[in-house]
Amino acid sequence: MQKGLGDLDELYQEVLLDHYRNPRNTGRLDDPASEVDAVNPFCGDEIHMQLGMDGDTLSRISVTGQGCSISQAAGSLLSELVEGKTSEEARELRELFRGMMMGEELSDDVADRLDDNLALQGVRRFPVRIKCALLSWSALIDALDKAATAE
């Protein structure tokens, strides 16, 4: 019996599919503290991100874009995770997320902090798609840097 598409279930977990079908935080912000466009040059996936800052707190975020299910769901999952966090916390989360994608062992504490974003763990088995999951996170860092210089 030849293998079918069953292994894909690890990649396309229900949480991810849900975020792809119904992406969160897609409303445009009226007066964003910063705004970035990120493109993955290898595949053309696009993410547009806007941040609203309240002091050092990331009070609002908007993520839209065009691309594959992984890149777009990752943007939506990210938006839920970082909203309400300080910029330092958001940067920490990015490191934790990147660590997860690079195959680091996850402690219970890290797993708790990444919350629903753990659903992207399955991408690790499909190395060529890891860049899809990381696109929004690099956009976030650019947007935070931009917001910090704009101050």
Partner 1 sequence: MTPGAPLDVQRIRADFPILTRQVNGHTLTYLDNAATSQKPRQVIESLVDYYERYNSNVHRGVHTLSIEATEAYEEARGKVQRFINAPSPESVIWTRNTSESLNLVAYSWGEANVGAGDEIVTTAMEHHSDIVPWQQLAMREGATLKIIPETETGRLDMEQAASLITERTKIVAATHMSNVLGTVNDIKALADAAHKVGAVMLVDGAQSVPHMPVDVQALDCDFMAFSAHKMLGPTGIGVLYGRPEILEVMPPWMFGGDMILEVSYEDASWNDLPYRFEAGTPNIADAIATGVAVDYLSALGMDNVWAHEQQVTAYALGKFAGLDGFNLLGPREVEDKGAVISFSHDSVHSHDLGTALDQLGIAIRTGHHCAMPLIRSHGIVSAARASFYIYNTEAEVDILVDGLIEAESYFSKAGIL
Q: Give residues in contact with partner 1 (CB under 8 A).
A: 2-5, 7-8, 11-12, 17, 20-21, 42-46, 66-70, 126, 128-129, 132
What's the closest the beta carbon of residue 69 comes to partner 1, in angstroms? 5
Nearest to partner 1 of 73, 82 (CB atom): 73
What's the closest the beta carbon of residue 94 comes to partner 1, in angstroms? 23
The DSSP bridge partners found for residue 38 are 47
Nearest to partner 1 of 2, 149 (CB atom): 2
What's the closest the beta carbon of residue 90 comes to partner 1, in angstroms? 27
What's the closest the beta carbon of residue 44 comes to partner 1, in angstroms? 4
Nearest to partner 1 of 32, 122 (CB atom): 122
Among residues 57, 86, 82, 68, the alpha carbon closest in space to that of 139 is found at 82
Nearest to partner 1 of 100, 132 (CB atom): 132
DSSP the chain: ----STTHHHHS-HHHHHHHHS-SS-SPPSS-SEEEEEE-TTT--EEEEEEEEETTEEEEEEEEEES-HHHHHHHHHHHHHHTT-BHHHHHHHHHHHHHHHTTPPPPHHHHHHHGGGGGGGGGGGSGGGHHHHHHHHHHHHHHHHHHHHH-
What's the closest the beta carbon of residue 138 comes to partner 1, in angstroms? 18
